[in-house]
Amino acid sequence: MLIPYFSPIVAMAVAITHTLFILYWGAYILHASTILAIYDALFPAPVFYWGLFNLVVGNLFLLYLSLYMVSDTRYSRLAPYALLMPLYWYLVGIIALIAVFAPRAWRKTER
Amino acid sequence: MNTKQLLGNVAKWFHKYLLLGEEGDPASWAIFLVLVLAYLGFSLGLVKAFGTTLVLEFTRYAHDNAAHLYIARTIIDNGEYSRLANLGTVWLPLYHLVLMPFTVIDKLYVTGLAGALLNAVFVATTASTIYLVLRGWLGLVFAFMYGFSVYSIIHASSSYMVPIGQFLAFAATYYALRYNETGSLRELTKATALAMAASTARYEAWLVLLAITLAVVLREAGKRNWVIAAYVPAMWLGVVGWLIYNWAIFGNPLEFIVGVFPVPPGTISSSSIISHIHGSLIAS
C-alpha cells in the first residue's frame, strides 16, 4: 500500500499550504495589498492551483484516513473529532508561524 | 511472469486502488480484463476507421463527448483564459478534473481516446463490482449483461460522464452493503468516501447518498450509537463543496440549478491550442 509512504508527504504539504493560506487570508481580510501583490508574484497560477489541490484533496484524504484509522478500534468514539481535521492543520499553521516569527513565545513543556 | 499472471496482476491492481483495498477474485479480474480489452478494441477500431471516437456523437446518445473533452482542457490550456472557473456550473466537476491530465496530450484529445481510456476502466470496474455484490453465476451473468449492453459500450468508448458516477455509486453501495452485513465502521468509511466522490461526479449519485444516509441512520438510531454522527456529514461534504464552489465563482450557491452555461461565456481565447484543434475538427 502506498498510504504509509504517501500520508506524511500529504500531511507536510497540507500543513505548509494552510500556513501560507493563513497569511494570504489574513492579508485579504486586512486589505494588505502589498502582501497580496507579493503573493501574486510568488504564486503563479500552477503553484496556486497546486496549493488549492492540497487544500481540498489533502484535507479530504486526511479526514477520511483519520476516520478509517479510528473505526473499529477502541477509540472509535473519537470518530466525530476526525471532522475537525482541517481545523487541526490551521492550528499547525499558527504554530509554524509562531516558530518562525516568535520562537521565544513557543510554550515548551516544563520539565 | 507470464502473460496470464501479468494480466491478473494488472486487474488486481486496478481493483485494489479503485475499490479502496478490495482485491476481488479471479472471476472479477476476468470480467474486468475481458471488458476493458473489448472496450479498448472497439475504441481503437473507431479511431482506425474514422480517426476519432467522437463519431459516437452521431448515435445522438453520447452527444456531449466533445464538450467534456473541451471543458477538461480549457481549465489549463486556454491562453489567458485558463482558470478553474472554466469547470463551469451545471455539470459536476469530478470527471473533468480526472480527465484533465489526459486531454493535455493532443493525440488523446483529438481522437477522443482521453475519455475512452478512462471510461473503459470505469465501466469495467462497475461490472466487476456488480459481480462482487451478487457473486456466483448470477453475478457473472449480470456483470456481462451490464458490460455488453449497448449503452455501456457507448459509454466506455466515449468521454461521457456517466461511467465515473456509476462506478463510484456502485462501489459506495457495495461497501454500504458490506457495512450492513458486518456492522464494520471501516466498511462504512469506505462507503462514505466513495459516496462523497460520487456526489461530485453525477447528480443521480445524490440519491444514492440519500439512500445510504437513511440506511445508516435507520440502522444505528435504535442503538443510540452517536459515533455515527461523524459519518453522515463526511458523506455530504461533496455536495457542500459544490455549493461553496458555485457561491465562490458565480455568487449563487444554487447557480447549478438556474445557470444555463456549462462553461462561462467569453472564456475562449482565439490564440489557444484548443481553439485551433476545434477549428480544424469543425472544418473537417
Each residue of A9-42: pLDDT tens digit?
878 888 888 888 888 888 888 888 888 888 778 8
> Which of the two residues, B75 and B42, has the higher pLDDT score?
B42
Q: Enumerate the H helices of B112-236 as residue ranges.
A: 113-134, 136-147, 150-156, 162-182, 185-199, 204-221, 231-235
Taking an 8 Å cut-off on Cβ atoms, the answer to whether B230 and A56 are in contact is no
* Residue B213 to residue B259: CA distance in whole angstroms: 28
CA B95 from chain center: how many Å?
A: 6
Report CA-CA distances (Å) from A104 to A95, B13, B181.
12, 50, 55
Chain B residue whose CA is closest to A75: B227
Contact (CB, 8 A) for B169 and B202: yes
CA distance A94 to chain B (A): 25
Each residue of B201-217: pLDDT tens digit?
999 999 999 999 999 98
CA B66 from chain center: how many Å?
A: 16
What integer pLDDT is reported at residue A4 of this predicted model? 67
Instruction: Give the pLDDT mean for B34-58.
Output: 91
Each residue of A71-109: pLDDT tens digit?
999 988 889 998 998 888 888 888 888 888 887 777 777
Query: What is the three-class DSSP state of A111?
Result: coil
> Which of the two residues, A94 and B281, has the higher pLDDT score?
A94
What integer pLDDT is reported at residue B85 of this predicted model? 82
What integer pLDDT is reported at residue B278 of this predicted model? 47
Instruction: Give the pLDDT mean for B267-281.
Output: 48
| pLDDT cut 90: percent of chain B above it | 59
Interface contact A110, partner B, CB < 8 A: no
Taking an 8 Å cut-off on Cβ atoms, the answer to whether A83 and B185 are in contact is no
**Contacts of A23 by beta carbon, 8 Å cutoff, 6+ apart:** A35, A39, A97
Q: Tell me the chain B residues in contact with residue A72 when contact means C-beta distances shorter than 8 Å.
A: 184-186
* Residue A20 to residue A23: CA distance in whole angstroms: 5
Instruction: Produce one character per residue of B234-270: b if its CB has 16 or more CB atoms within 10 Å, e if not.
Output: bbbbbbebbeebbeebbeeeebbeeeeebbbeeebee
Taking an 8 Å cut-off on Cβ atoms, the answer to whether B192 and A49 are in contact is no
What phi and psi, each to the nearest 5 degrees, are found at residue B239?
-65, -45
Nearest to B186 among A49, A56, A71 (CB): A71
Taking an 8 Å cut-off on Cβ atoms, the answer to whether A49 and B237 are in contact is no
Each residue of B175-193: pLDDT tens digit?
999 999 998 999 999 999 9
pLDDT exceeds 70 at position A6: yes
Instruction: Give the pLDDT mean for B41-62.
Output: 85
Taking an 8 Å cut-off on Cβ atoms, the answer to whether B227 and A79 are in contact is yes
What phi and psi, each to the nearest 5 degrees, are found at residue A87?
-65, -40
Each residue of B52-89: pLDDT tens digit?
888 887 776 666 888 899 999 988 888 777 778 888 88
What integer pLDDT is reported at residue B64 of this predicted model? 80
* Residue B264 to residue B256: CA distance in whole angstroms: 12
Instruction: Give the pLDDT mean for B155-163.
Output: 92
User: What type of residue is B268?
Assistant: I
Q: How do the domains of chain A map onto residue ranges?
A: 3-105
Chain A residue whose CA is closest to B194: A64
pLDDT exceeds 50 at position B281: no
User: What type of residue is A17?
Assistant: T
Chain B residue whose CA is closest to A62: B193
Taking an 8 Å cut-off on Cβ atoms, the answer to whether A52 and B84 are in contact is yes
What integer pLDDT is reported at residue A18 of this predicted model? 82
A2-41 residues touching B, CB cutoff 8 A:
none
What integer pLDDT is reported at residue B258 of this predicted model? 81
What integer pLDDT is reported at residue B280 of this predicted model? 47
